[in-house]
Amino acid sequence: MSFRRISILTAVALLAVTLAVGVARAQSSGNTIANFTLKTAANADVTLKSYADHKAVVVVFLNPACAFSRLYQERLASLSSNYRGKGVQFLFINVPINLDAPGTAAPGEVELPTLTDASQQVSNLLGVGKTAEAVVLEPAAGGFAIRYRGAIDDNPQVAGSVQQHYLRQVLDNVLAGRPAGVADKRAAGCLIKR
C-alpha cells in the first residue's frame, strides 16, 4: 500500500472516531435536567418528574402565531398519538415569539393542548431558541438526560416531502436502548422572544 493511501485511510479513521466521540459526548455530557413545573390552561401544575416512569418525554415549543408551529400541528399530534402507547409523553409549551400578531388555529387545524411557561424557565433551561423545536428527555439517575434538541424533521413546509424524520428516528433509537444517533439538528422557525 502506498503512503498516500495509508494517509487517507488514517485521516478517514480519525474523522470517524472524532465524530463518534462528539456524538457520544453530546449524548452523555451530563446535560441532566432535574425538574421543572409548567401550568395547564386550567392553571394546574405539571411537573417533569411526574413522568419519571415514562421511557421518554418530548418537550415541544410552539406558538400559534408562528407559521412553522401551525405547519407542524398535525405531524406533532400524530407523533404524540403513535408514541403514547410506547411510553413517550409529549409536552407542548406555548412560548412568546418575536411577532406581535395574535395567533389562533385556522378552521380545520389541529389544536394541541399547550402548557404555559410565563417565565421562560424551560426554554432557557433546555437551550431552545425557536418554535417549533423539540427536546427529547430520557429518565436518568438524578433527573432526565437530554438526548436530542432541534428540528422535528427536514421539511417544515411540506409534510409529504419530508426525507429525514429526526424526532421519530431519535425516539425509535431511545426506545430500543440505542444512542439517539444525532444529538441536535438546527430547527427552522420563529425566534422565541427573550
In terms of domains, do 39 and 70 share one?
Answer: yes
In terms of domains, do 54 and 84 share one?
Answer: yes
In terms of domains, do 20 and 109 share one?
Answer: no
In terms of domains, do 101 and 38 share one?
Answer: yes
pLDDT tens digit sequence for 140-176: 988 999 999 999 999 888 888 989 999 999 999 999 9
Of 5, 49, 36, 189, whose CA–CA distance to 116 is shortest? Answer: 36
In terms of domains, do 5 and 80 share one?
Answer: no
Q: Phi-psi bin for 143: left (phi > 0), alpha (psi -120 to 50), beta?
A: left
In terms of domains, do 14 and 45 share one?
Answer: no
Stated as kind and residue range, the H or E segment containing 176 is: none
Residues of the domain holding 95? 31-191
Assigned C-alpha cell, 68:
412553522
In terms of domains, do 43 and 59 share one?
Answer: yes
In terms of domains, do 17 and 98 share one?
Answer: no
In angstroms, rounded to a whole number, what is the distance separating the alpha carbons of residues 96 and 120? 9
In terms of domains, do 15 and 81 share one?
Answer: no
Average pLDDT estimate for 104-131: 78
pLDDT tens digit sequence for 80-94: 999 999 999 999 999
Of 75, 56, 48, 69, whose CA–CA distance to 130 is shortest? Answer: 69
In terms of domains, do 5 and 97 share one?
Answer: no
pLDDT tens digit sequence for 92-103: 999 988 775 555
Number of domains present in the structure of the chain: 2
Task: Please tell me the total number of residues recorded for the chain in this structure.
Answer: 194
Assigned C-alpha cell, 192:
422565541
In angstroms, rounded to a whole number, what is the distance separating the alpha carbons of residues 141 and 23? 20
Q: Write the CA distances from 82 to 87, 169, 191, integer angstroms.
A: 10, 13, 28
Q: In terms of pTM, does the model score above 0.85?
A: no
